């Protein structure tokens, strides 16, 4: 596996990122920060992962919030 020292997302799965954000903010605050239904209406890790894997713009917002939360 190629090392990517300048890529903070390297080695982080989408599930790990989402779990970090839920632990840090909770579903309600996550839905306030990123207004997508999978965070607002009956949220779960599983349903959110399905949506985020199919929706690149939403995944980008989640990744950006993750990067902001760890800096």
For the chain, helix (H) and strand (E) counts, in that order, are 4, 0
Q: What is the pLDDT of residue 3?
A: 63
- The CA distances from residue 60 to 18, 26, 41, 65, in Å, are 12, 19, 20, 9
Half-sphere exposure of 44 (CA within 13 A, CB side): 4
Domain boundaries, the chain: 14-70
pLDDT tens for the chain, residues 1 to 71: 566 768 888 889 999 999 999 999 999 999 999 999 999 999 999 999 999 999 999 999 999 999 999 98
Q: What is the pLDDT of residue 2?
A: 60
Q: What is the pLDDT of residue 10?
A: 86
Fold of 14-70: 1.10.720
């Amino acid at each position: 596996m190629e090392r990517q020292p300048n890529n903070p997302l390297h080695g982080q799965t989408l599930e790990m990122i989402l779990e970090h954000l839920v632990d840090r903010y909770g579903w309600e605050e996550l839905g306030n920060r990123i207004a997508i239904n999978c965070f607002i209406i009956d949220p779960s890790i599983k349903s959110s992962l399905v949506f985020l894997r199919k929706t690149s713009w939403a995944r980008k917002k989640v990744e950006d919030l993750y990067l902001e939360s760890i800096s």
